[in-house]
A = this chain, B = another copy of it.
Amino acid sequence: MMSFARGAAIRSRTLIWLLAACLAFPHISQSADRPGLLLTEDGVRTIRSQLGSVPLFDASLAAVKREVDQEIAKGIETPIPKDFSGGYTHQRHKQNFFVAQKAGVLYQILEDPKYAIYVRDMLFQYEAMYGSLPLHPQERSYARGRLFWQCLNDSNWLVYMSQAYDTIYDFLSEQERQKLEDNLFRPFADFLSLDNPQFFNRVHNHSTWGNAAVGMIGLVMDDQELIERALYGVKDADVDVSARDNDGGFIRVDGQKAGFLANVDAPFSPDGYYTEGPYYQRYAMYPFLVFAQALHNLKPELAILEHKDGVLLKAVDALLTLADADGEFFPLNDGQKGMSYNARELVTAVDIAYHFGGGNRQLLSIASQQGQVLLDDTGIAVAIAVRDNQAAPFRKTSVNLSDGPNGRQGGVAVLRQGNEDLALVFKYSAQGLSHGHYDKLSYSLYERGTEVLQDYGLVRFVNIGQKGGGNYLPENATWAKQTVAHNTIVQNETSHFGGEYEIGSRHHSVLHFFDASDPRVQIASANDANAYPGTKLQRTVALIQDESLDRPYLLDVFRVTSSVSNRYDLPFYFMGQVISTNFSFSTPPALQALGSGHGYEHLYLEAQGEPASDSSQVTWLNQGRFYTLTTATLPGDTLLFTRIGANDPDFNLRRDPGLMVRRDQAEATVFASIVENHGSYSPVSELALNATGSIEGLAVTLDSDEYTALTIRQATGLSSMLIIANADASADANHRLEVGGQFFQWSGPYKFLPRAESPR
């Protein structure tokens, strides 16, 4: 069989061309260039020839066939739109586009016309209703859809239906196609774009979906106007630039930079980090990648996969590294916990990244774990490689990812020790658009996929109708986004930037240094001077594997300098049950909220104590593991045990514990803490191994604008020291410092001394 130069061919398609193709291949009714969007004719040929010999693909095909056959048996339903997410009409229309896309693929692979008929009939049911459909009756959205309550979901529909249409294109008569395009697809695309520029022309994941929807149907219809509009936005749109979306995000449409290319440029840093965070990156990746794949197939001259130094494929790598040992994404900003590599969007991402990204064999391990592949060119390539034992273990390492379109708006660092025995996610990024949280210099800590110090995530039960229609709940704004909901400093019980989105969006933290080159000391440090005007924050986090200890630990040095006296609160959201403390505490007769705003109204004060020594310790037990937090405390500090759940009238919040270190009337101060996993407990053997920690205490031995030195005392009597260069963190700077009568000399931003004499 011949192959065609597709990008050019599709644009020159004419009736004569079609006729020629039909004559050349009289045994099939399809023209030579359909399908072409994702599944290509070459791909279909390969798939048909391999069927039955590629287990991963065969299993995926069988699962899809089972699902589609069940749906076909049930019949097609296109109810009048009525419900929010989670409700019946929402779910039904959503299910329809998923199934139609799959049925179209089955038609191509299995050549059974019943699948094409199913898609055709469904499309005509939509065609019959669409013209007279008013706006969706639910009025909450800044951009209401017609099938769904928001244009976002209407765009989802069109992204999938474009694929369905492409796969049955040749099955339809010219007349049928005309009818669908005139009455359904073109008005649908116009509605999402021309009628809703406040949705379509943003730099935002909503718009990415809209752009991909309009662009993909444009590619199938070979409609240059739609394709241009998708790539560059609606021209001369009239949009209220001061408007906000439902999440409080700016609409911020300036008419210049809009469309798919702008959306590729803006939210991704050159390292592939997506500024909203991995949960939304996962969601957004699908339209980015499928539209890119379609453009690659049909507009190769755009070289979309090479755009911005190949950022779309880099983004897949970045996304995969922003996950714990179980493949669950770190819930930076708004992120629902539990979302993982196994999401369908990641099947797309992994298959496309493998096929178009040079065949990274580590990706095949993830594909194997996903247990499914796309039923297209990329999926068959992955399945064949897996079958041929090409998979290599997927290994995540420490990584530092910049944020911002040019990589100059802070970033996110992930430190990993051993085989993810400890993984620390350190956030010093920009605001993250409307899904951002006010948590400069926060972190969360994991041990092999289990949360040690948690990031709360979001307050939303996605698609669970009983909980506010599955949408964001009020406590997302009043709790989850607030600073005190995170493991970072709160000054005077006020969130960073006062919790003001406009202000937070203007600023970002700044990397001080990152060095993961020595597996014994992996370290990252960042500054923030804007969260609280007049206050400088510098946090240094390190995973240290001291040779004299069995296990690595986290060292956390938070330096605060202010010209005035403030209250500083540093919470640690440890997961588990308190086993012991080295200080006494009292519990109140009734639980009151800790404060009255900025998230404090959602914390109960469960207990309160004062330090009994220079190092306050709390040991807790979680899922059979003992952990200890050791934090350097001062006389006058207060240790507050908190519990989330106050002022939560609908049980939207989890009742999780926290320990807050409170320091009053401080100007410049350092919070230095260590978190270690030191032991284990089995309820079966009932053996408690190493139930007490290996760290006896730690002290800030020296602190100046130039240097901070920490002394870490082990229970064995050994001491070690970490010195951080606060002023000049360049790799080649030479330092000379006296600490407690000893002189140290080194170059680079930090010095770790595994066996330091404890200075007196």
Contact = CB atoms under 8 A, between A and B. Distances in A.
Nearest to A339: B683
A266 B270 CA distance: 75
Given A577-B651, A590-B590, A604-B591, A688 B464 contact: yes
Interface stretch (A75-83, A579-587, A707-715): A579-587
A333 B263 CA distance: 61
A84 B562 CA distance: 50
Interface string A677-694: 000011111111001100
Contact of A686 (B462, B604, B685, B692): B462
A686 B688 CA distance: 38
A469 to B, nearest CB: 12
A140 interface: no
A536 to B, nearest CB: 36
Interface in A12-64: none
Q: Is the interface of A mostly helix, strand, loop or mixed?
A: loop
Interface in A613-670: 619, 621, 641, 643, 645, 647-651, 654-655, 657
A450 interface: no
Interface string A333-360: 0001111101110000000000000000
Assembly stoichiometry (copies)? 2
Contact of A337 (B340, B578, B606, B683): B683
A466 interface: yes
A621 B684 contact: no
B648 A691 contact: no
Given A579-B461, A591-B591, A592-B590, A684 B649 contact: no
A92 interface: no
Contact of A684 (B339, B683, B692): B339
A580 B466 contact: yes
A579 B466 contact: yes
A751 interface: no
Interface in A564-586: 577-580, 586
Contact of A621 (B464, B593, B655): B464
A561 interface: no
Contacts of A641: 651
A647 B655 CA distance: 17
Contact of A340 (B339, B684, B687): B684
A655 B643 contact: yes
Most buried by B among A86, A462, A688: A688
B684 A580 contact: no
Most buried by B among A586, A591, A648: A591
Contacts of A577: 651, 654
A470 B688 CA distance: 10
A465 interface: yes
Contacts of A607: 649, 651
A467 interface: yes
A501 B684 CA distance: 29
A465 B586 contact: no
Given A578-B651, A579-B461, A590-B591, A619 B686 contact: no
A465 B686 CA distance: 12
A688 B86 contact: yes
Nearest to A338: B683
Given A587-B649, A591-B604, A579 B467 contact: yes
A586 B683 contact: no
Contact of A655 (B86, B467, B655): B655
A463 interface: yes
Given A590-B590, A591-B590, A649-B587, A580 B467 contact: yes
A691 B464 CA distance: 7
Contacts of A654: 577
Most buried by B among A586, A649, A692: A649
Contacts of A657: 655
B590 A685 contact: no
A342 B684 contact: yes
Contacts of A691: 86, 464-466
Contacts of A692: 466
B336 A683 contact: yes
A648 to B, nearest CB: 7
A463 B686 contact: yes
A641 B462 CA distance: 24
A339 B591 CA distance: 34
A405 B545 CA distance: 58
Contacts of A586: 649
Contacts of A590: 590-593
B619 A466 contact: yes
Contacts of A682: 338
B688 A343 contact: no
Given A338-B682, A577-B651, A577-B654, 12 more contacts: A86-B691, A336-B683, A336-B686, A344-B685, A463-B688, A464-B691, A467-B579, A578-B650, A578-B651, A587-B648, A607-B649, A643-B655
Interface of A: 86, 336-340, 342-344, 461-467, 470, 577-580, 586-587, 589-593, 604, 606-607, 619, 621, 641, 643, 645, 647-651, 654-655, 657, 681-688, 691-692
29 contacts: A86-B691, A336-B683, A337-B683, A338-B683, A339-B684, A339-B686, A343-B684, A344-B685, A461-B579, A461-B621, A462-B683, A463-B688, A464-B579, A464-B691, A465-B688, A466-B579, A467-B579, A470-B688, A577-B651, A578-B650, A586-B649, A587-B647, A589-B593, A590-B591, A590-B592, A590-B593, A606-B645, A607-B649, A655-B655
**10 A-B pairs closest in CB distance:** A338-B683, A578-B651, A466-B580, A591-B591, A590-B590, A464-B688, A462-B686, A590-B592, A342-B684, A463-B688
